[in-house]
Structure 1
């Protein structure tokens, strides 16, 4: 529920039971809020919370009609509610498996986009040649091969291949000094295998050093039967005779592959072939009001059209996981999600960390106080349809509908896992500002507030601040985002693509011990 003071509201109340309202602009001491019949008693920055009642020390505080923390001290009506007087609290969640699950109302005539249909039936939204590395030792060579084909440096290199989006090198800092049978190498291989068979790559070169723990054969084995569908070539620096010869060999291989990659044509394909990774980074107090629920409305449309949406960032659903288990298609699905939460609690304990070390400094400056509050806003990206499956990091997504993939909250690591799982498009909401891209899958940026849009329009694809300003509705923006998904999947380049983002943002999750 969203009620506003006027078409250009001073504050936003999200639920009748809430103990706080959200300022849409800076409020000076003495500002009267007629809709709440209260007077502000201190300076309230935009996106921050104002108490709507007297709250005793130790009382829980609600936003979204959900607990976001406990009062550290007595809070008076009209006061600023933030880190100085609101803290983290533990409380029992009612997981109520499936009580909010309901049949999906699929559309009779699904939308289409102009996609690239591979020979084996897979559908791509982009057409790259990829250079992957098994180990950090081959990163420089991989980049040198890809740099030879950079359009901004050597436009003639791809002049005859207009249907090729580019040649990209995705390098990383891992691959050796790691247990050959441990969880770390399994996650790395699963990630690399997912990229090796991603439909957005027409073909892939795999470059290794030669003596690393993470042997290329092991990565290709992790790809399983899907590996036979992809066009893969592999070689090592040691077998090729050193750096210069390896770079020359790689360039020659790419030249051999370009003509075949350029033969693709875009054709109409159903929206069911869209697999969208959902991300939020640089969140603020408006994220759960504007961009996240607007993206959720677009996700509902995508699911009704037969597509797939992936929610991730497990530490940033902590405290709101009960909202997802209530939508679980079965108790087994709900239990999988809770098992991942438990894994994270154990992981933090054994590494001396805590799940409530969130939000970040930027999140707090934007009005978010506790991880509970942040998570409640983050899950809004997932819309309202059933949670049909839960996956581990970089596991191949084989279900249609709304799913969850376990990942850290750090955006590059999370999105890397989503693309490895099969995401061919990323939608990324931000309130503080983000400059992120994710080759080979395009990334769309959605601003939570108009001030950010006006300041950083160069990096943002759509402004969702109209919800805060009173000039747009969640449903209107949901429809606009869904259409933008279709357009981007059809080849319209996102802002991050225009800036050349995507190669350096490939960051596999380093979960294992490095020795």
Structure 2
């Protein structure tokens, strides 16, 4: 089977995507037209279908994604030198009716995953204990607890890199310097992937997770309030059995503020919440008491066993990072279809990254039946955009050098492809950062595009699985929520197998449809949610946690 050379994403587009490297002088025959390429076009990049003059629109995914800044010849690639970001205006006055029929999901209707039931009725895909500081002053104590609990209870990462250093030291001390120079450093990834789970005394606890941050004091009261909401959301996350909270005592974020916010978010809250304040006595007394009470809480948390739960108990975060020109035509549409499947089954999905919805706002407004929620989306987008522009960093500056190199020339191109993660389902709710997800269906959550700030926000809002598509490769993980890394192309999967969990590359090669890829991914998620699989980020101990300060972050 010969592989397709090019693809037009939407009938209204005036650009064509190169699926492989196309040299200058090539003649491409596509949909009855012949295109002679005056310049080479790298895979993932786009060339125009007809001559464009300065100011002419470039359309992709059926929406405006930029305007020509120079004349562009038919067959010539779009670049940062001949195209600038532009997007259509949006608002309630342009709102159009929208209809959608749930997908036929009868074969999945009675499927279940084995999860951990919580007293509030939600179900976790993991059973974690959480240890968190209310202020950066407690980071050291948290890290001491981390070393003690992880090593003694079997949750520590293997010491393979430490062993590698030890080997080099022995050779150095033996005077075998030439041997060191000739060595081919190698660490078997299987050593990292294989954890000593059999020796863990608490069989039903997937891990103890330790968060550190640089907030809690010295910042604005707004930042402290946001941190409070975020930490409360992590404690309320269905993947968390309970939490140990370390406080200095004099910081902005007081323990009573956290307790109040936890119960405001979740009136049915019924988890152990252990609170310790250092200024009440000596550090040794503090740590000894925290260790003892946390250990006893772990004994109780270990009594919770996995039980069958319907797929409607899934809350799936939808994220992309290290995106490339294939993201919007393979992995993102695949998880968009999966989102529609989960919504059709009565579950919840969460589309975040508001800077990466620039240019598709009107489509999402049209999909939001509730006018008040549509207005909330508009208000959040406009406030965020104005905040960025006020410091000279508008949404148009969002694409990273890696994005641009791999074909995402403008923010609107990146956004139009990123929005495919949300599928076609109506928007059920619109949430500001750290607001809990409570409404079944597709939820829009205001977060930055920054990988870790976004995944942190989704976990804080209650996601129990996060799907993360990537075209360039990123190791991002989360302390309490498994993050599934999905490659947009086969080469990435082959190059970074210790980071990637699932491959959507077969879509590009025509070996699999978007729908088939999504269904295979759902099967993987069921195994993952049941604890039969763990993600590569979990194997690597990649527990990334960065709270969003409500300043500018794209």
Q: TM-score range by the shorter chain?
A: over 0.9
Equivalent in the alignment of 2:29: 34
Kindly tell me the number of residue pairs found equivalent between the two proteins.
Answer: 503
Give the RMSD, CA atoms, in angstroms: 2.0
Aligned equivalent of 1:220: 259
Match status 1:12 vs 2:52 = no
What does residue 416 of structure 1 align with? 456
Structure 2 CA distance, aligned partners of 1:87 and 1:188?
A: 36
Report deviation, 1:64: 1.3
Provide the C-alpha distance between the structure 2 equivalents of 1:370 and 1:189, rounded to a whole number of angstroms. 35
Match of 1:132 in 2: 132
In 2, the alpha carbon distance for the partners of 1:102 and 1:471 equals 28
What residue in structure 2 maps to residue 3 of structure 1? none
1:146-180 deviations in Å (ceiling 9; x for gaps): 22222236969972112111111011110001344
Contact 1:133–1:206 (CA under 8 A) maintained in structure 2: yes
Aligned to 2:360: 320
For 2:246, the equivalent position in structure 1 comes to 207
Residue 294 and residue 512 in structure 1: after superposition, are their counterparts in 2 closer, same or farther (change >3 A)?
closer
Alpha-carbon shift at residue 107 of structure 1 (Å): 4.6
Structure (1 or 2) with the larger CA radius of gyration = 2
Q: For 2:396, what is the secondary structure of its paired residue? A: coil
Match of 1:233 in 2: 274
Instruction: Return the alpha-carbon distance in structure 2 between the equivalents of residues 407 and 442 of structure 1.
Output: 19
Shift of 1:218: 0.9
Question: Which TM-score applies when normalising by structure 1?
Answer: 0.93
**2:206 corresponds to:** 165
Q: 1:105 Cα deviation (Å)?
A: 5.1
Q: Cα distance, 1:407 vs. partner?
A: 0.8
Return the alpha-carbon distance in structure 2 between the equivalents of residues 451 and 353 of structure 1: 33
**CA contact 1:142–1:247 (8 Å) conserved in 2:** no
Give the 5 Å matches for 1:413-452: 413-452=453-492
Distance 1:299 1:57 in 2: 39
How many Å apart are 1:349 and its aligned residue? 3.4
Contact 1:97 1:330 in 2 (8 A): no
Matched, 1:69 2:66: yes
Secondary structure of 2:397's aligned partner: coil
Give the superposition deviation at 1:68. 0.9
Relative to its length, the structure with more helix (as a share) is 2
> Deviation of residue 261 (structure 1)?
1.4
Cα deviation digits, residues 78-99 of structure 1 (max 9, x gap): 1111111111125334764352
SS at 2:384 equivalent:
helix
Structure 2 CA distance, aligned partners of 1:484 and 1:94? 39
Match of 1:104 in 2: 102
Runs of 4+ displaced beyond 6 Å: 154-158
Contact 1:101 1:326 in 2 (8 A): no
Gaps of 5+ in 2: 159-195
- Is the partner of 1:149 in helix, strand or coil? helix
Q: Is the 8 A contact 1:394 1:421 kept in 2?
A: yes
**Unaligned residue ranges in structure 1 (runs of 5+):** 1-5
TM-score by length of 2: 0.87
Alignment of 1:151-162 (within 5 A): 151-152=155-156, 159-162=200-203
Task: Choose which of 49, 53, 63 in structure 2 pairs with 1:52.
Answer: 49
Moved more, 35-44 or 148-157: 148-157
Give the structure 2 partner of residue 485 of structure 1. Answer: 525
Equivalent position SS for 2:132: strand
> Which residue of the partner structure matches residue 164 of structure 2?
none
**Residue 415 (structure 2) aligned to one of 351, 355, 375:** 375
Superposed CA deviations along residues 363-393 of structure 1, whole A, max 9, x for unmatched, are 0011001111111001100011110110110
- Matched with 1:497 is 538
Per-residue deviation, residues 185-211 of structure 1 (Å, max 9, x unmatched): 221111011112222111200001111
1:156 and 1:294 map into 2 onto residues whose CA distance is: 33
